[in-house]
Chains A and B, each alone.
Chain A
């Protein structure tokens, strides 16, 4: 293995390098180049069109004094933490239940997975409807005689993010469940047998033996879930449009609206730079630790 991982000269591995050209171009020109471009223009007063008229840190000062941006960050933090934990927990529990040699496993799995086939826009619309107090769940329960029953998360500023979370989890947990199920199936039967022989309770086996063994699955899942959380936009737009008031605003929406509705590219870029920066701070060191080593299978 060592002979093909240690580089010695430009023409070593030349085919691999040629094959990687699309990836290298994408990484450098689009992701890195686009990011640098965004950062540079965040220091300008660009309005509708990108222009290089530098204004220093003005855009950032305005960003951090905008109540809406602060609300957006807070919302994303609440949504992110809850969505991450609940996706993992629900996904894992469902996977563990499906892994009990049950009947109709295929049916259940398909039911849990199908929402993933639908876009966030569709998800948002359907849940907006179900949660609508006038004809959704609240209406139904009230018509059953519980007159004081109130369940209108999308219309209550204090709990609106949870209303979005309900829809987000509905769409996304199926995929997490599948990833977890796949991970569980990768665990050797002998480990279960050994645990049973030693009389270790099932929950302990899961928590202290199985989960640590599933580390790679958790990492893949983590990348998929968190990248979805950072990008959270369509779901909010379709469900609440950021309302009531600005109670369900999220950073990606702030970016988009300042770029295209307010026609203040500089402000939008400043906001995206902050988003990218926080992602970079978390991702880059972690990616190096996780993927950067010369470890192999």
Chain B
């Protein structure tokens, strides 16, 4: 049994034959995946890694990246690094790489043809600095969704909207029926996330990139983005009575039919699944808010600090191969509810909404997202601005947009 399982994993990466150590090497892996579904997903990686004859030592720290990241950075700079660690790919680990603290996997990537396998290619680009590959992307999460409660709209006697504009128009009817039109948690990342989703949907990826990639303060302060802030103003009014903090409490309101909809990433899907709801029947999902069905491909990646111990370095390579292997990718992503990074895997068991995402992905309608484009520092300033905007009705859309343009102008 054990033998057969190993073989299956081995088949995924040929390079790996040479790197399997003769005896078990412990490799500590830190991450912040601690909820039920997440832990089940990460267990798939651990199982596959253990099957190579090594041992996955789990270093989970809950409370999202904000609790875990100081630990990871302190350990790496303190000279006691772990074997591998999760980061959101993008710009979070940039400086650790520049300092030469992280291991480069260019060779392994070439041997296993990561460039050919990983879809969309931007995922690998985010791991690349000066032509060298420093991380292994493991999944794709997209933000650009609105989740609608079919029950809430039935109760209000209006049809389920097909896009954001219809949703806004249905707001008064929902309110009349005693519903909260838009459920939204009162945490800054959810509010600025909603703004970005609105932006991508309303003005399209091109203008979005002008703002976040070219950091054009003119565009950010211009008439196109004014439409986005107008929409954010609508969202603010629709969500005025939403009285929850966490995103999953907001999702619960959609599931229960007390709220019409929620703008949230595809991780919300797990909540609907747990509640036994069926996509299309109990709830509806609109990628790109039904306006612009383009999804961004953020997600998680693993980084590997440089280690002195050659045994452990070998084990790191083995882990990198496992993370990229077909079997581990499928097993992990089905549990996590995210999309796999390899273009060549088949997710027949995926549900309707997940399939919608896969189709968009296959059609190549993807875009870069803020994690990759702006620094965490700028993200933080955005978050602060949007949380103020959503909690302060007296802050007008115009004034908020002016401050937004200022932040973009100063961004690095």
Cβ B384 vs Cβ A68 within 8 A = yes
**Distance A245 CA – B377 CA, assembled complex (angstroms):** 18
In the complex, chain B residues whose CB is within 8 Å of the CB of A205: none
Shortest distance between the CB of A124 and any CB in chain B (Å): 12
Cβ A66 vs Cβ B243 within 8 A = no
Q: Cβ of A186 < 8 Å from any Cβ of B?
A: no
**Distance A48 CA – B243 CA, assembled complex (angstroms):** 35
Cβ A246 vs Cβ B188 within 8 A = yes
**Distance A216 CA – B154 CA, assembled complex (angstroms):** 69
Cβ A261 vs Cβ B69 within 8 A = yes
Q: Cβ of A56 < 8 Å from any Cβ of B?
A: no
**Distance A267 CA – B65 CA, assembled complex (angstroms):** 20
Pick out which of these stretches binds chain B: A11-19, A79-87, A194-202, A236-244.
A236-244
Cβ B375 vs Cβ A263 within 8 A = yes
In the complex, chain A residues whose CB is within 8 Å of the CB of B384: 66-68, 246
Q: Cβ of B218 < 8 Å from any Cβ of A?
A: no
Which A147-177 residues have C-beta < 8 A from chain B? 152, 155, 157
**Residue in B66, B73, B186, B375 whose beta carbon sits within 8 Å of that of A257 in the complex:** B66
Q: What are the interface flags for B377-412 relative to A under an 8 Å C-beta threshold, 1 for contact and 0 otherwise?
A: 101110010011011100000000000000000000
**Distance A294 CA – B7 CA, assembled complex (angstroms):** 79
Query: Given A257-B66, A260-B66, A243–B187 Cβ distance below 8 Å?
Result: yes
In the complex, chain B residues whose CB is within 8 Å of the CB of A241: 187, 245
The winner among A152, A241, A258, A259 for most chain B CB atoms within 10 A is A241
Of all chain A residues, the one with the shortest Cβ separation from B92 is: A263
Q: Cβ of A123 < 8 Å from any Cβ of B?
A: no
Shortest distance between the CB of A54 and any CB in chain B (Å): 17
**Residue in B70, B92, B186 whose beta carbon sits within 8 Å of that of A243 in the complex:** B186
In the complex, chain A residues whose CB is within 8 Å of the CB of B387: 242-243, 245-246
Of all chain A residues, the one with the shortest Cβ separation from B91 is: A263
The winner among A152, A259, A264 for most chain B CB atoms within 10 A is A264
Cβ-Cβ contact count across A and B, 8 Å cutoff: 81
Cβ B96 vs Cβ A48 within 8 A = yes
Cβ B380 vs Cβ A245 within 8 A = no
Cβ A49 vs Cβ B96 within 8 A = yes
Q: What are the interface flags for A254-294 relative to B under an 8 Å C-beta threshold, 1 for contact and 0 otherwise?
A: 00011111111001000000000000000000000000000
Which B268-286 residues have C-beta < 8 A from chain A? none
**Distance A48 CA – B188 CA, assembled complex (angstroms):** 21
Q: Cβ of A247 < 8 Å from any Cβ of B?
A: yes
Of all chain A residues, the one with the shortest Cβ separation from B95 is: A48
Of all chain B residues, the one with the shortest Cβ separation from A266 is: B377
Cβ B390 vs Cβ A261 within 8 A = no
Shortest distance between the CB of B404 and any CB in chain A (Å): 13
Shortest distance between the CB of B188 and any CB in chain A (Å): 7
In the complex, chain B residues whose CB is within 8 Å of the CB of A240: 245
Q: Cβ of B206 < 8 Å from any Cβ of A?
A: no
Shortest distance between the CB of B387 and any CB in chain A (Å): 5
Q: What are the interface flags for B353-381 relative to A under an 8 Å C-beta threshold, 1 for contact and 0 otherwise?
A: 00000000000000000000001110111
Q: Cβ of A133 < 8 Å from any Cβ of B?
A: yes
Q: Cβ of A109 < 8 Å from any Cβ of B?
A: no
Cβ A244 vs Cβ B186 within 8 A = yes
In the complex, chain A residues whose CB is within 8 Å of the CB of B245: 240-241, 243
Q: What are the interface flags for B45-75 relative to A under an 8 Å C-beta threshold, 1 for contact and 0 otherwise?
A: 0000000000000000000011001100100
Q: Cβ of B234 < 8 Å from any Cβ of A?
A: no
Cβ B388 vs Cβ A246 within 8 A = yes
Of all chain B residues, the one with the shortest Cβ separation from A51 is: B95
Task: Provide the main secondary structure of the chain A interface.
Answer: loop
Query: Given A152-B243, A264-B377, A246–B391 Cβ distance below 8 Å?
Result: yes
Query: Given A47-B377, A48-B73, A264-B380, A155–B243 Cβ distance below 8 Å?
Result: yes
Shortest distance between the CB of A74 and any CB in chain B (Å): 14
Shortest distance between the CB of A184 and any CB in chain B (Å): 42
**Residue in B66, B77, B96, B388 whose beta carbon sits within 8 Å of that of A261 in the complex:** B66
Which B66-98 residues have C-beta < 8 A from chain A? 66, 69-70, 73, 77, 92-96
**Distance A155 CA – B277 CA, assembled complex (angstroms):** 29
Cβ A47 vs Cβ B95 within 8 A = yes
Q: Cβ of B99 < 8 Å from any Cβ of A?
A: yes
**Residue in A67, A244, A245, A262 whose beta carbon sits within 8 Å of that of B376 in the complex:** A262
In the complex, chain B residues whose CB is within 8 Å of the CB of A259: 70
Of all chain B residues, the one with the shortest Cβ separation from A50 is: B77
In the complex, chain B residues whose CB is within 8 Å of the CB of A267: 377
**Distance A157 CA – B219 CA, assembled complex (angstroms):** 32
Query: Given A243-B187, A247-B391, A261–B376 Cβ distance below 8 Å?
Result: yes
**Distance A67 CA – B388 CA, assembled complex (angstroms):** 9
Which B218-262 residues have C-beta < 8 A from chain A? 243, 245
In the complex, chain B residues whose CB is within 8 Å of the CB of A264: 376-377, 380
**Residue in A49, A152, A263 whose beta carbon sits within 8 Å of that of B99 in the complex:** A49
In the complex, chain A residues whose CB is within 8 Å of the CB of B94: 48
Cβ B186 vs Cβ A47 within 8 A = no
**Distance A242 CA – B380 CA, assembled complex (angstroms):** 13
Cβ B77 vs Cβ A49 within 8 A = yes
In the complex, chain B residues whose CB is within 8 Å of the CB of A258: 377, 380
**Residue in A47, A157, A260, A261 whose beta carbon sits within 8 Å of that of B391 in the complex:** A157
Shortest distance between the CB of B1 and any CB in chain A (Å): 43
Q: What are the interface flags for A85-104 relative to B under an 8 Å C-beta threshold, 1 for contact and 0 otherwise?
A: 00000000000000000000
8 closest cross-chain pairs (CB), A and B: A245-B391, A262-B380, A48-B95, A264-B377, A244-B186, A263-B376, A262-B377, A260-B70
CB-defined A-B contacts under 8 Å, sample of 16: A49-B96, A152-B243, A155-B243, A157-B391, A241-B245, A242-B188, A243-B186, A244-B391, A245-B188, A246-B391, A257-B66, A259-B70, A261-B65, A262-B377, A264-B376, A264-B377
Chain A residues with a Cβ under 8 A of chain B = 47-49, 66-68, 133-134, 152, 155, 157, 240-247, 257-264, 267
Name 12 extra pairs, CB < 8 A, besides A66-B384, A260-B73, A261-B65. A48-B92, A48-B94, A48-B95, A67-B388, A243-B187, A243-B188, A245-B388, A246-B391, A257-B380, A258-B377, A261-B69, A262-B376
